[in-house]
Amino acid sequence: KSDLGSKFAQVVYEGKWFTPLREALQAFIESTQRYVTGEVKFKLYKGNIIKAGTTSPYTLYNESIASFTTGDLYDHHDA
């Protein structure tokens, strides 16, 4: 990810905005980020940043599978 960002920055810095390379990089970035959307909430308190929650219509997180309690969808013996 950082290599792609560095390459994109280099292309733009070198004034190659209107090139097929920049267009290809942009298309790749847009296609990989298509489902990256949602909200992230933070609390700011005395110089600290604390994550307060996230939501997304495309989330892959399933609380019943990620839970450490018994009786969920995940069989803990499989670990």
Say what the pLDDT of residue 3 is.
Answer: 93
Is pTM beyond 0.85? Reply is no
The per-residue pLDDT for range 41-77, each reduced to its tens digit, is: 999 999 999 999 989 999 887 776 666 666 556 566 7
* Spatial distance between the Cα atoms of 6 and 12, rounded to a whole number of angstroms: 10
Angle CA 55–56–62, to nearest 5? 80
The per-residue pLDDT for range 30-45, each reduced to its tens digit, is: 999 999 999 999 999 9
What band does 2 get if pLDDT is binned at 50, 70 and 90? confident
H or E stretch including 72?
none
- Compare 23 and 72 and report the one with higher pLDDT: 23
